[in-house]
Structure 1
Amino acid sequence: MHQRKSRVKQIEGTILTGRSFEPVRGRVLVEDGRITAVEETSVDSTDIVVPSFVNAHTHLGDSIAKEAAVGLSLTEAVVPPDSLKHRRLAAADRDEHVRAIGRTLRFMERTGTASVLDFREFGIEGARVLREAAVDRRIEPFIFGSEEPAVLDYADGYGASGANDEDFEERRAAVAATGKPFAIHAGEPDATDIHPALDLEPELLVHMVHAEEEHLERVAEQEVPIAVCPRANAVLDVGKAPLSELLAHTTVALGTDNVMLNQPSMFREMAFTAKTFDVSTRDVLRMATVNGAEITGRNCGCIEPGREASMVVLDGDSDNLSGTEDPVRAVVRRATELDVADTIIRGESVE
């Protein structure tokens, strides 16, 4: 009987290792989609090897209406049920919708994102559309479905619009019975829906722009992680999240929010966040990688033995990155999609 031989892959360069992203000159050894070792050794490569990104909050359905909401308020642009977004989604041809989401997923995986946490509108059919769009992609969408609890037969969790929009208590109980996570928007237009959202004991809060100390104390007590979307908040003019305070109280991950408003580029989201808020570049890189992964139990977002081998290889000698003195700062504040030499998801390069 012949035994299959595992193929060992080596990725060389300056490797940003562990949760602290300590730069190590050497190579990453990959076998069967997992990182088996990080070896410090002399190498010729000028590449910078970074853990793949996890986009912690998107609305990929908006791929059919890019830049359609310019100049609109939050309510006019995205609030259900009558916003421009929901009218466009309701009118979309199914095949068109699948193609549009598929192209967005392809952009994301080619630019370093291995996993995405998506809020899907339109219940079971919405979840099915995203599953179909992702069939030929390596990126893994974690789907937070909507509307009826039966969506959980097709989705990975439930995503609620906001506690002021409708009563979610019955659906929250139904979700709890399945053991799947419940996520909800909170504190985006104002603070009035934050306590009601926390009363639902969610596994994830999104936005928390208007969080105050009384809310943060509950967040810490309930150990609820938060996904923040700074560029979308700026576009919709709803304010700036108290990011340093959020980080002091819980796990915070980074998302790009509506594709209609912003391209799902983690490079742009990191740079905007690092240059707008008083937080460290390492905090921002953690928000873009391992924090988002751990919210949904994914084993990516960190380069260390035993982790999923999902990494972004950046050309450290590109016209943009050549001469970089601090690779972590360069990745967070300077790097762009044009610097990506390779994206590896579960040990295989993305085509």
Structure 2
Amino acid sequence: MEIEGTILAGRDFEPIEGRVVVEDGRIEAVEETTTDSSRIVFPAFVNAHTHIGDSIAKEAGGGLSLDELVAPPDGLKHRLLRAASREELVAGMERTIDFMVESGTGTFCEFREGGVEGVRAIEDALADSPVDATVLGRETVEAMAAADGFGASGARDADFEDERAATREADKLFGIHAGERDAADIEPALALDPDFLVHMVYAESHHLDRLAAEGIPVAVCPRSNLVTDVGFPPIERLADRTTVALGTDNAMLDSPSMFREMEFTAKLTDCRARDVLRMATANGAEMLGLDAGLVEPGREARLCVLDGDSNNLAGVQNPVRGVVRRAGVADIERVVLPERTTGND
């Protein structure tokens, strides 16, 4: 397979006129050549933090506080998850996964509620999809063992020391929410030596110093934080000290569109467009240890291809800014993932 157009190649997304050569699901070459194609080709998104089980309750609970919405064990989402049948849960996740693929996401990291059964449910939802998911079980060590690691709710809910020890012994990922509503749970979360943190809205200077010293990445979810009225993460300060990746968080609160997350981030911060695109692609892949997030030879072929001559994108002078600040699902020509291609050729 060869895809011609403007290629946003490598870690700096330098625009190259040419083509990407894909063989057996991998990028064989990125070649500079003259082309008449208006396509824009860039890495498929890595959504660094999701809760897609919430797909059964989109836009439920307007006006509720963060604790009322999502705090375990009896926040609204947890009550709705308990009340849903397994069939409803799997069907809701399948549709959200389909939307993520349609909107350019090639992989995502899911904090999966429901113990072992919750892990099995998302495995069923993923069965026919080309998207790659890092699934972190919650609530029990057994859920961690059945998944790719453990996704802790936050140090204010439990100490999680046993879960962290078991995860380390299994050589799996350990992620934890921290600093979402205040700074009180950040130090206890850091004491667990996590592989990554989520949110860090209330990160203070000494927390940033520790992130830098210990090389702990952070997944930020700015749209979700504003919806739940907890504030806005200090994305520029975090990015100065560590790896920052973008996630869309709870499907009940926000569409899992990385285009929306990028535009929101770019227009509400002073981050450069290429840095925001990196947060939506390469940084999430790096955080999760994935072979994804970049267009370069040897990488897995997970690509998003835009119609650069769409009514929305025609006339864009800077393709990186165009992707980050303007593009949307309607501009996608196709999404290339291993095993099959979605969209229209």
Same fold (TM over 0.5): yes
Deviation per CA, 1:129-178, whole angstroms, max 9, x where unpaired? 00000000000111010111111332001000000111211111111111
Gaps of 5+ in 1: 1-8
Name the count of aligned residue pairs: 343
Shift of 1:248: 0.9
Matches within 5 A, 1:133-172: 133-172=125-164
Task: Tell me if structure 2 keeps the 8 A contact 1:50–1:311.
Answer: yes
Deviation per CA, 1:40-71, whole angstroms, max 9, x where unpaired? 11111101011100000000110000000221
| SS of corresponding position for 2:46 | strand
Shift of 1:92: 0.4
Q: 2:108 aligns with which of 116, 119, 123?
A: 116
Give distance in 1, aligned partners of 2:62 and 2:131. 29
Gaps of 5+ in 2: none
Q: CA RMSD in A?
A: 0.8
1:301 aligns with 2:293: yes
Amino acid in structure 2 at the alignment position of 1:161: S
Give distance in 2, aligned partners of 1:36 and 1:141. 24
Task: Tell me if structure 2 keeps the 8 A contact 1:309–1:347.
Answer: no
Give distance in 1, aligned partners of 2:120 and 2:286. 25
Shift of 1:254: 0.2
Give distance in 2, aligned partners of 1:21 and 1:108. 22
Query: What is aligned with 1:129?
Result: 121
Q: 1:51 aligns with which of 38, 43, 47?
A: 43
Give distance in 2, aligned partners of 1:69 and 1:307. 42
| SS of corresponding position for 1:125 | helix
Matches within 5 A, 1:227-266: 227-266=219-258
Query: What is aligned with 1:273?
Result: 265
Amino acid in structure 2 at the alignment position of 1:335: A
1:78 aligns with 2:70: yes
Give distance in 1, aligned partners of 2:313 and 2:290. 30
Deviation per CA, 1:254-284, whole angstroms, max 9, x where unpaired? 0000000000000000000000111111110
Give distance in 2, aligned partners of 1:234 and 1:203. 25
Give distance in 2, aligned partners of 1:118 and 1:152. 12
Shift of 1:347: 6.3
The alignment's TM-score, normalised by the length of structure 2, stands at 0.98
Matches within 5 A, 1:340-351: 340-346=332-338, 348-350=340-342
Would you identify which runs of 4 or more consecutive aligned residues in structure 1 move more than 4 Å?
none
Q: 1:28 aligns with which of 20, 28, 46?
A: 20
Task: Tell me if structure 2 keeps the 8 A contact 1:34–1:347.
Answer: no
Give distance in 2, aligned partners of 1:152 and 1:263. 27
Q: 1:310 aligns with which of 302, 309, 315?
A: 302
Give distance in 1, aligned partners of 2:5 and 2:122. 35
Task: Tell me if structure 1 keeps the 8 A contact 2:30–2:297.
Answer: yes
Q: 1:194 aligns with which of 164, 175, 186?
A: 186
Give distance in 1, aligned partners of 2:139 and 2:338. 32
Query: What is aligned with 2:83?
Result: 91
Amino acid in structure 2 at the alignment position of 1:80: P
Q: 2:99 aligns with which of 72, 95, 107?
A: 107
